[in-house]
Amino acid sequence: MLEPEVEARPWDEQLALDDDAYRAQLAYLLDRSAFYRRKLAAAGIDESAAAGGLAEIGRLPLTEKQELRETVSPDDPVGAHLCAAPEEIVRIYSTSGTTGAPSYVPLTVGDLSNWIAGSARSYAASGVTSGQRIVSTYNAGPFVAGAALASFDRIGLCHIPVGTGNTERLVRAVELLRPEAAVLTPSYAAHLVEWAAERGISLAGSSVERVLVAGEPGGGEPVFRATLEEGWDARVTEAMGIGDIGVSLWGECEEQDGMHLGARDFVHAELLDAESGSARPLGDGGSGELVLTHLRHRAAPLLRFRTRDHVEVRTAPCPCGRTSPRIRCVGRTDDMLIVRGVNVFPTAVREVVAAFAPRVSGRIVVAPEQPGVMQDPPLPVRVELADGALPDAELAEAIRARLREVLVVTTRVELARWGRLERSEYKSTLLDRKGR
């Protein structure tokens, strides 16, 4: 562990510390944040709310990304939730804008330091240690992922940034510089295995022992993960951050049973029923939308921010000794479809289909026919075949039957020849609303 006194701290002690931090954070917001002063007053919440501490955080209204965006103007490019004076801001990142126009994320020197500390714990959980080499493939540039790269320095790794868009250069760097670890999106990790195999290069024979995936859900799906582990002959663990809250907040340990909260001390996590908006207990086996609250943030702290990430929680003791809860991201609430009352995540569809390897490539696209979340069955699913495999009605039927059995959803499976579904050096799109 990078910081055992923090990471192995009993969870009830953590909550007590967080309780104090939360009260101070709430007082800070009421003092400095025009956005929260307005929002909390409208909800009938005043200074006395801080007295209830974390136990009563559920009384506070949730914060939606869209609300923050609506306060942005040319005079106020960050938004009304900005609390710090211009001279206190040392960095301004952009969110990548996967779900709309990019927004700005300012940080004070303390915020940046906390981000890096949390990210370093998350990445170190994977087992990478000081003195090892790690190759990174993020064009982090303007994005919050840039702060994650700084966490590699904090761990003491030798960082080899290669960037996105040049697979040949990346594979060459791996061959010549012999890094022990690689950090990339799960989509790109899968693409590299294929790319290398087509050229007679074996990534399994490379120096890479650890593949750290982040940037999108999927790295934790058992079948997909097994494919990556086999292709790289490496242990695959994942990390996850939320642009507006922090970078690589969560990181998986070598037990591979979900991501620990590396950003403990800095962030408080809750679970929500995404449809009703009511709180759910953050207990073992729980699931729901992840809601996060800053505890020690200064530049633009957020309260009860809806992340739109649907997660499953584990709180049973982890053999690694880290005491924080662990999560697995099942998918984005934004990608969720409801087919005859049943919630369907494209990532879950991919997981079921992947079990048909080696007959399929593992790539799928869910192509809903109706706009919006509600869909009438059958739900169209395009499934890419393995290299050289030909469309086969029996296989399509077997996949359809399996999806029905596991996910309780009626689909129409369209098989596509190998190479027909898009490859990505960054994130995959599992939902295709184009052309419909």
Sites of contact with Zn ion (CB under 5 A) = 253, 255, 318, 320, 322
In 178-329, which residue ranges form alpha helices assigned H by DSSP?
A: 186-198, 222-232
CA distance linking residue 398 with residue 404, whole number of Å: 10
Q: Is the Cβ of residue 318 or residue 352 nearer to Zn ion in the bound state?
A: 318
Q: Which residues of 91-106 are buried (b: 16+ CB within 10 A; e: fewer)?
A: bebebeeeeeeebbbb
CA distance linking residue 169 with residue 151, whole number of Å: 23
Q: Is the Cβ of residue 245 or residue 253 nearer to Zn ion in the bound state?
A: 253
3-state secondary structure of 51: helix
Q: Is the Cβ of residue 261 or residue 365 nearer to Zn ion in the bound state?
A: 261
Q: Is the Cβ of residue 118 or residue 368 nearer to Zn ion in the bound state?
A: 118
Q: How far is the CB of 120 from Zn ion (least distance, A)?
A: 16
Q: Is the Cβ of residue 78 or residue 320 nearer to Zn ion in the bound state?
A: 320
- Closest alpha carbon to 251 in 242, 233, 243, 263: 263
Helix (H), strand (E) at residue 42: helix 34-42
Q: How far is the CB of 3 from Zn ion (least distance, A)?
A: 14
Contact in structure between 185 and 158 (CB atoms under 8 Å)? no
Q: Is the Cβ of residue 95 or residue 324 nearer to Zn ion in the bound state?
A: 324
Q: Is the Cβ of residue 67 or residue 254 nearer to Zn ion in the bound state?
A: 254
Q: How far is the CB of 123 from Zn ion (least distance, A)?
A: 14
CA distance linking residue 301 with residue 168, whole number of Å: 41
Q: How far is the CB of 214 from Zn ion (least distance, A)?
A: 17
CA distance linking residue 430 with residue 98, whole number of Å: 13
Q: How far is the CB of 255 from Zn ion (least distance, A)?
A: 5
Q: Is the Cβ of residue 173 or residue 259 nearer to Zn ion in the bound state?
A: 259
Residues whose CB is less than 8 angstroms from the CB of residue 12 and which lie 6 or more positions away in sequence, other chains included: none
Q: How far is the CB of 167 from Zn ion (least distance, A)?
A: 32
Q: How far is the CB of 5 from Zn ion (least distance, A)?
A: 16
Q: Is the Cβ of residue 315 or residue 424 nearer to Zn ion in the bound state?
A: 315
Q: Is the Cβ of residue 282 or residue 302 nearer to Zn ion in the bound state?
A: 282
- Record the tokens describing residue 283, joined without a space: 């207990």
Could you tell me the maximum CA-CA distance found in the chain, to the nearest angstrom? 67
- Closest alpha carbon to 32 in 298, 303, 246: 298
Per the DSSP assignment, residues forming a β-bridge with 413 are 381
Could you tell me where the beta strands, DSSP code E, fall in 162-304? 181-184, 210-213, 235-242, 246-252, 259-261, 267-272, 279-280, 287-294
Q: How far is the CB of 252 from Zn ion (least distance, A)?
A: 8
In 88-144, which residue ranges form alpha helices assigned H by DSSP?
A: 109-124
CA distance linking residue 7 with residue 10, whole number of Å: 9
Q: How far is the CB of 181 from Zn ion (least distance, A)?
A: 18
Q: What phi, psi does 138 have (nearest 5°)?
A: -90, 130
Q: How far is the CB of 14 from Zn ion (least distance, A)?
A: 15
CA distance linking residue 344 with residue 427, whole number of Å: 20
